[in-house]
Amino acid sequence: MNLTRREFTRAIGVSAAASSLTPAARIPTQSAGTPQPKVGYCIVGLGRISMDHFMPACRISQRSQVTALVSGHREKAEKMAAQYNVPSKNIYSYENYNQIADNKDIDAVYIALPNSMHAEYTIRAANAEKHVLCEKPMATTVKDSQAMIDACKAANKKLMIAYRCQYEPTNLRAVQLIRDGKLGTIQAIESANGFKEHAGEWRLSRKLAGGGPLMDVGIYSMNACRYLTGEEPVHIAAYASVIDRDGRFNEVEENVSWTMKFPSGVVASCNTTYGAEMPGFFRVHGSKGMIHMEPAFAYQGLHLKAQIQGEPFIDEPNNQKDPYQFVLEADDFAQCIRQNREPKANGEEGLRDMQWMAEIYKLAGVKQA
């Protein structure tokens, strides 16, 4: 869904306000030999996730760098440009965004706009012959998600959705324990993720967000159940509710609870909310043991524990600090571009989550954008 510049500017104004891991988990460095040039990212939208996480990640990366900015606030853009050595000629507005096509400093765009703007700015980037790394959820509708995929394929450009947990070492450790059969036959998964949202945030606007906590943080539980099992659901049941009648949830849901049955027989139970603090976690129960990861989806401080029959208790805190997850994400996409490799978290991966979330909303009786 398209927004006017005034609507977007208002939304942004409201919402802005040394490792102990194994070597494989550390921030990657260039291999010996002639280093490849860094991939130049154009940052589209100067909000919290871009300024506080993605851009600092590019600063310490050996494969990625910030080379251009797109913002509706010139003064803010100039301030950030000075911090990242971005020349004034590489600062764009939303109106002249298409001119990035003429800028060879830009290899890819990182889209960190409200959900309803993802499709438009992805398609415009593809038309400008730039690769796209887009924040999740990839859009607000299945139709827009497919249009993003089609535009990037037509332009022969890569599209990756920012599922950073799929590149994060502690999540990958959980997946490997399951794939190696350490837990035996997987029987059930539990997951939840949520927080108490404040009045006035753009996430409470159906037009901007496309939905409530499911689209924002519930998607982590949805995606985790899929990558933990390696399967797609065959049956879903869902419920939604609004408990706090204080005006915050006039347009979007406050709570969503859903269950998914997978082809193997695994049943997953998930919850998400904007009404309470609900630290993101997942538990995987198998015939030989159990994994509990909490936090599972945060930017830092992830912690995996596992009880496996006949083996010592596993207790593995991840002491890496933000923005290391964003470095892994940005650099994997940079390598996809340099090596002409399809991203693991490609557009089709984002589309599948959009399709499942649309089904959850339908079953729960929640109106979408």
Element (H, E) at 40: strand 39-44
Whole-number Å distance between alpha carbons of 40 and 68: 8
Is the backbone peptide bond immediately before 323 cis, with ω within 30 degrees of 0?
Answer: yes
Token pair for 354: 């959009």
Token pair for 157: 């450009």
Q: How many CB atoms lie within 10 A of CB 244?
A: 13
Q: What share of the chain is helix, strand, coil (3-state, %, to 5)?
A: 40, 25, 40
Whole-number Å distance between alpha carbons of 187 and 287: 7
Taking alpha carbons only, the member of 193, 214, 192, 190 closest to residue 266 is 190
Question: Catalytic: which of 220, 299, 324, 361?
Answer: 220
With tokens 């997946």, the residue in question is 175
Asked if 196 is an active-site residue, the reply is no
Tell me how many degrees the CA angle 247-248-249 measures, rounded to the nearest 5: 95
Asked if 41 is an active-site residue, the reply is no
Question: Catalytic: which of 41, 97, 121, 136?
Answer: 136
Which residues participate in catalysis according to the annotation? 136, 220
